[in-house]
Amino acid sequence: MRLKSFVIIIGFFSAAAGLAYFGADKAATVMEENSELSIRSALDDAGLDWAEVEADGLQVLLFGEAPSEAQRFSAVNVASSVVDGTRVADKMSVKRSVRVTAPHFSIELLRNDSGTSLIGLIPAKTDRDAILQSVAEKTDGEVTDLLQTANYPVPKGWERALRFAENALANLPRSKISISADEVVVKAITDSINAKRRAEADLRRATPAGLKVILDITAPRPVITPFTLRMVRDDEGSRFDACTADTEEARREIMRTAVALGISAEAKCTVGLGSPSILWGDAAVLSMNGLAQLGQGSLTISDADISMLAAEGTDQAVFDRVVGKLENDLPEVFTLHAVLPETGQEGEGPLDFNATLNEEGDVLLSGRINDELTRRTTESYARARFGANSVEMAARIDEALPSGWGLRVLAALEALDQLHDGTAHVTATEISVQGNTGIETASADIARILSEKLGDGADFSIDVKYDEMLDPLANIPTPEECVVSIQRLNAANKITFEPGSATISADSLTTMDRIAEVLQECPPFQMEIAGYTDSQGREEMNQSLSESRASSVLSELMNRRVLVSGFVSKGYGEANPIADNESEEGREANRRIEFRMLTNETPAEAEEGLESEADNSADEATTEVTEDAPTDEPD
């Protein structure tokens, strides 16, 4: 009986323990779920939905990647407000912060007649004072500093772009130059078309490799006098010898008509000032269409005078109809002079005058001239235009020449002056000019000259070819070509110095003159003039002497009006000998000046490179220096 009671008691307690365990487990599970749900709801309400919650008994674990340390701290606070803070375990991480991006460094250089302003953001390590000093030297005016700085690394290419922009500013008195590390935008206004072309050519030549340069250079409309349009139609087709328009709209209308009549769409028509009427475009289009109806011939409009010369053999009825309609349709200010040559009309004998200009610039005048006074006048006029020693007069006197012959001869010579080489042929009925030129507008200029000098009804033909190689603006030498030219000049007559001094000898001044002439035709570029001596004498004295000699060469170039803003002089003393200092020949070779190009780097950077890589001569052009004494130091 006792045993049975004991078993019952044990069973009762075991059942009670099991019920208690399962009840406690159920209660803990409910508490975990309630805590987890309450905290997740609170986090969502606080906008912290990135946080994850997991309950483990009484402890609450927070997981997730917080956008910032402040967000992580907020999540812990929210959870602690729901349950006891001691129960909250922070298992969260913080998102790695993105590295702060460096600002965009840029400068705008604004230059006008009142001075130059610098606006923008530059790296703190950029030498601000050096920029201001360089701009002041190149513009020779007041400089306003509106720059800001930021302490971030200097971007690659920044110094290169800055130096290019500073040099560009020197020759553009009305400009805005925007600078960034990889791009320079140049906007400027020049005084003339030629100044615009020269500025563009100089800037393209000076553009460093790897730098994007955008040019937006404009020039005022040229004043054209007389305002001229000349169109020719013959067996070879239609062409313009000259074309001008007073507005862009008129130019488009003229070119639209020209293309329809067979003229190339690439033909140039200059928009300029000087039109005699706002209806110039209308008059030009009417006259061009009239010539097309005649078939062949020439049309010359000079200011308000219109000359139309029909081809020989043109039907008289067609000529009368076209001319009559054109006379009625033209605006009132314009007058028409139309000529139909008589069939079979020929001059008596070879009445002509010829002027021939060869490639060397010599001019031969032959054919016939009116009288002795006209011959002397013609010869003097030719010498004034082509050079006193370049003209040979071989024309004979013929008093039977028609009136106005001398005027036609002088007009032909003025037209010939637009050519590099060619001929001008004068007859009683026509002037023909043909040859090669380096002036893009030569054909138009010749047409204006002849129409102005010869008047209405004049017949002339122009066959002029533009050659870019003859254009002094398009054919500017490269810096490399300039250095090679300096080498050749020095090879023919080496630069020498007075013994033991930095004074260039009198015999070498001619060489300096020729080097200066070469550099005056070169685009802006950077160059180092380096001086060297032999090893005779004290090292300190040789160092000083080499610096003085390099500086003397730079000064001589400056005195000859060479732009030296990109040049630096530096002395290296007896360093880097190129020959044995134990012999007289070796010492003479070591006494030298070297010209080094510093393309795409600052002078300071170049000097450091030269000191660390003295043997590197990839971009080096050497000019030797000889002197009358065997040593650099006086006894």
User: Are the C-beta atoms of residues 508 and 536 closer than 8 Å to each other?
Assistant: no
Residue 540 half-sphere exposure, CB side, CA atoms within 13 Å? 0
Stretch (H or E) spanning 594: strand 592-597
Q: For residues 340 and 314, what is the distance between their CA atoms, to the nearest angstrom?
A: 7
Most confident of 54-63, 123-132, 253-262, 612-621: 253-262
Statement: residue 269 has pLDDT above 80: yes
Q: How confident is the model at residue 76 (pLDDT cuts 50, 70, 90)?
A: confident
Residue 468 or residue 630, greater confidence? 468
- What was the pLDDT predicted at 632? 43
Structure tokens at 276: 């005699």
- Count CB-CB contacts under 10 A for residue 96: 7
Task: Indicate whether 231 pLDDT > 80.
Answer: yes
The set of residues, in sequence order, having a beta carbon less than 8 Å from that of 254 and lying 6+ positions away, is 229, 243, 245, 269, 281, 284, 285, 288
pLDDT at 512 > cutoff 70: yes
Report d(CA 209, CA 479) in Å as an integer. 13
* pLDDT (0 to 100) of residue 72: 85
User: Which range is most confident: 170-179, 345-354, 447-456?
Assistant: 170-179
- Mean pLDDT across 276-283: 94
Cα pseudo-dihedral 558, 561, 567, 568, rounded to 10: 10
Q: Is the pLDDT of residue 401 over 80?
A: yes
pLDDT at 3: 55
Q: Which residue type, as a one-letter code, is found at position 610?
A: L
Ramachandran bin of 620, using left for φ above 0, alpha for ψ from -120 to 50, beta for the remaining angles: beta
Q: What angle do CA 507, 508, 514 make, to 5 degrees?
A: 125
How high is the pLDDT of residue 610?
39
Q: Which residue has the higher pLDDT, 620 or 542?
A: 542
Give the separation between CA 282 and CA 110, rounded to whole angstroms. 41
pLDDT grade, residue 15 (50/70/90)?
low
Distance CA 612, CA 322 (A): 81
> What CATH number should be reported for the domain whose range is 479-627?
3.30.1330.60
Measure the CA–CA gap between 127 and 138, rounded to whole angstroms. Answer: 17
Positive/negative CA dihedral, 182, 187, 190, 193: positive
pLDDT for residue 249: 94
pLDDT tens per residue, range 114-165: 899 999 999 999 999 999 998 988 888 889 999 999 999 999 999 999 999 9
Percent pLDDT > 90 in the chain is: 33
Q: What is the pLDDT of residues 82-109, one digit of tens each?
A: 888 788 888 888 887 655 677 889 999 9
The H or E element spanning position 362 is none
CA–CA separation, 136 and 116 (whole Å): 8
Q: Could you tell me the pTM of the whole model?
A: 0.53
543-578 in b/e burial notation, b at 16+ Cβ within 10 A?
bebbbbbbbbbbebbeebebbbebbbbbbbbbbbbe
CB 187 within 8 A of CB 176: yes
Question: What tens digit of pLDDT does each residue of 591-614 get?
Answer: 888 888 875 444 444 444 334 333
Mean pLDDT of the chain: 83
Q: What is the CA radius of gyration of the chain?
A: 43
Buried b or exposed e, range 319-332, using 16+ CB within 10 angstroms: beebbeebeeebee
pLDDT of residue 216: 92
Domain chopping of the chain, boundaries: 27-94, 106-218, 228-339, 352-470, 479-627
What pLDDT was estimated at residue 219?
Answer: 86
Output DSSP code: residue 631.
Answer: S
In this structure, CATH architecture of domain 106-218:
3-Layer(aba) Sandwich (3.40)
pLDDT band at residue 12 using 50, 70 and 90 as cut-offs: low
Pick one of 3.40.1520.20, 3.30.70.20, 1.10.10.520, 3.40.50.300 as the CATH number of 228-339: 3.40.1520.20
Helix (H) or strand (E) holding 22: helix 2-45
The pLDDT of residue 429 is above 50: yes
Asked if residues 574 and 508 have their Cβ atoms less than 8 Å apart, the reply is no
- Residue 308 near residue 297 (C-beta atoms within 8 A): yes
Cα distance between residue 205 and residue 525, in whole Å: 9
Exposed (0-12), middle (13-18) or buried (19+): which is 285, by Cβ within 10 Å? middle
How many other CB atoms sit within 10 Å of the CB of residue 604?
A: 12
Tell me the two tokens of residue 255. Answer: 């070119």
Residue 527: is its pLDDT beyond 50? yes
List, in order, residues 6 or more apart from 148 with CB less than 8 Å away.
120, 121, 122
Q: Is the pLDDT of residue 278 over 90?
A: yes
Instruction: For residue range 447-501, list pLDDT tens digits in order.
Output: 989 888 887 667 889 999 988 788 776 667 778 888 888 878 877 777 778 888 8
The stretches of 295-454 forming alpha helices (DSSP H) are: 316-329, 372-386, 405-416, 442-454
CB 549 within 8 A of CB 502: yes
The topology (CATH level 3) of 352-470 is: hypothetical protein tt1634 (3.40.1520)
Contact criterion met (CB below 8 Å) for 513 and 560: yes
* Cα(303)–Cα(275) distance, integer angstroms: 7
Largest CA distance in the chain: 175
Nearest to 320, CA basis, from 303, 306, 339: 339
What are the distances in angstroms from CA 124 to CA 103, 153, 179, 601?
A: 12, 8, 16, 20
* Per-residue pLDDT, 186: 95
Is the pLDDT at 170 greater than 80? The verdict is yes
Question: CA-to-CA distance for 472 and 90, rounded, in angstroms?
Answer: 79
Helices (H) and strands (E) in the chain, counts: 16, 29
Which CATH class, in words, describes the domain spanning 27-94? mainly alpha
Q: Which of 400, 393, 328, 337 is nearest to 367 (CA)?
A: 393
Q: How far apart are CA 411 and CA 425, in angstroms?
A: 11
> Which amino acid is it at 164?
F
Q: Can you tell me which residue has the tokens 């997991």? A: 54
Q: Residue 408 pLDDT > 60, yes or no?
A: yes
**Closest C-alpha among 456, 467, 465 to residue 241:** 465
Would you say the CATH fold of 352-470 matches that of 27-94?
no
